[in-house]
Amino acid sequence: MKALEDKIRTEGSLLPGAVLKVSSFLNHQIDADFMMQMGREFAAKFGDTGVSKILTIESSGIPLAFAAGAALHVPVLFAKKHLSSNVTGMLYQTLVHSYTHGSDYTVVVEREYLHPDDRVLIIDDFLANGNAIEGMLDLIAQAGAETVGVGVAVEKGFQEGGTMLRARGLRVEPLAYITKMDEDGIEFGQPDFE
């Protein structure tokens, strides 16, 4: 998605540990119009999958998943990191290693919101080593539901997550695919589907 590549070039900055900071529109402040535009891109990519539900993890995935859900007209479920008093009932839960925090955390979804007949599209902001996506795949498997695809705003193709997921036959579609990022700049490309 050219508009996303342009936005990353003009507004993104690099942080230590191969972290791209895009807090002006995606991870802290939200560009609502642009978010809806990205949602429509996901709808164009996954509209043929018979998706019945979108799954993401709080909090950065939520606006993107919401935009995709609005475009695809399906409910959006987000896995929760915090067991607040309004999380009741039976849960599916899994452990996720956080790329940006460097620690593990548990995420849960209530069983009543994920069913064996669901066709689930996973949406997240970034794909790096694939741990967040793995966690969501585990929740979907626990529910006996089917994963129809994985949509991410940004895939860092120089990290292993996308290759690993595609090798298992999953359809993984990034809106922007970064092949290289360093002090000389950011380079974009296309995933190798072989």
Residues that bind ligand 5GP (CB under 6 A): 19-20, 27, 60, 99-100, 124-132, 156, 161
Nearer to ligand 5GP, 26 or 74 (CB): 26
CB of 64 to ligand 5GP, least distance (A): 10
**At closest approach, how far in Å is the CB of 48 from ligand 5GP?**
25
Q: How many C-beta atoms surround the C-beta of residue 73 within 10 A?
A: 8
With beta carbons less than 8 A apart as the criterion, state whether 109 and 92 touch.
yes
Partner residues linked to 185 by β-bridges? 182
Nearer Cβ to ligand 5GP (73/168):
168
- Closer Cβ to ligand 5GP, 5 or 124, answer by number: 124
β strands within 60-118, DSSP E:
76-79, 91-97, 104-110
Which residue lies nearer to ligand 5GP by CB, 15 or 90? 15
From residue 8, how far is each of 75, 80, 108, 160 by CA, in Å? 28, 28, 31, 21
Q: How far is the CB of 131 from ligand 5GP (least distance, A)?
A: 3
Nearest to ligand 5GP of 6, 58 (CB atom): 58
Contact indicator for 161, 129 with CB cutoff of 8 Å: yes
Residue 133 gets the label, from left (phi > 0), alpha (psi -120 to 50) or beta, of alpha
Nearest distance from C-beta of residue 154 to ligand 5GP, angstroms: 7
Pairwise CA distance, residues 29 & 23, whole Å: 6
CB of 142 to ligand 5GP, least distance (A): 18
